[in-house]
Amino acid sequence: DRLAALGARISTCRRCPRLVRWREQVAAEKRAAYAEEPYWGRPIAGWGDPEPAVLVVGLAPAAHGANRTGRVFTGDRSGDWLFASLHRVGLANQPTSVHAADGLALRGTRIVAAVRCAPPDNKPTTAEKARCAPWLDRELALLAPHVRCLVALGSIGWDATLGAARRAGWEVPRPKPRFGHGAESVLGGPHGEVVLLGSFHPSQQNTFTGRLTEPMLDAVLGRAAGFVDR
């Protein structure tokens, strides 16, 4: 299938020298708590429903999260928040995401990262974001017949999503819709309207400080859940 083939191609990408070095160094050195585990140490493909009504676009894999487990948002604190919320709003069959064979399944939902390799300090450079964008373009092209709602986590996810939509020839409002938690914009996709929702990223920086609360995240993902099965 074409999505699996795309995932396989992404997983061998080496376009960004700095990120290749970092993802492999982290995987070789490991965190003490995971010393006995194999680390993935490669780019992270999209994961979830292959024909999703909802596509969630995050920032980048965490060094000891997805870069370890090989599955997007799996095995770190941001993922704990995201999957617990997806479960509360009915889009995930379980609230936790521990490793790639833990039985987790998403309903009508797929998750991708705007940048597919773990960056140092969770900060990809402008050049790295640009280099990785074609992977999102390809994934969006395959998913476009099904997607009715895009959920962008954080401003980097928001900009990556709008960029991909624009390059694909979708109608995107001008001036560019502004990111914010609860922001909404309607894009004209090739198969009709697609609603773009913005949420603060469930990074520890946001969740520890109370900038993002569980009810806030549930409100956005609950709105997205309304696009599944209808």
Among 59, 106, 112, 132, binds ligand SF4 (CB under 6 A): 132
Beta bridge partner(s), residue 56: 111, 151
Contact status: 138 vs ligand SF4 (CB under 6 A): no
Whole-number minimum distance, CB 129 to ligand SF4, in Å? 8
Beta bridge partner(s), residue 48: 110
Alpha carbons 51 and 69: distance in angstroms, whole number: 23
Contact status: 140 vs ligand SF4 (CB under 6 A): no
Alpha carbons 149 and 144: distance in angstroms, whole number: 10
- Give the C-alpha distances (Å, rounded to integers) separating 85 from 18, 20, 23, 24, 134: 33, 31, 28, 31, 29
Among 49, 76, 128, 139, binds ligand SF4 (CB under 6 A): 128
Burial of 191 (0-12, 13-18, 19+ CB in 10 A): exposed
Contact status: 115 vs ligand SF4 (CB under 6 A): yes
Among 3, 6, 7, 15, binds ligand SF4 (CB under 6 A): 15
Among 2, 4, 8, 14, binds ligand SF4 (CB under 6 A): 14
Contact status: 131 vs ligand SF4 (CB under 6 A): yes
Alpha carbons 220 and 226: distance in angstroms, whole number: 10
Contact status: 19 vs ligand SF4 (CB under 6 A): yes
Tell which positions 149-208 bind ligand SF4, by CB under 6 A. Answer: none
Give 13 or 100: the residue with its C-beta nearer to ligand SF4.
Answer: 13
Structure tokens at 199: 């949420």
Which residues bind to ligand SF4, rule: CB under 6 A? 10, 13-16, 19-20, 43, 115-117, 128, 131-132, 135
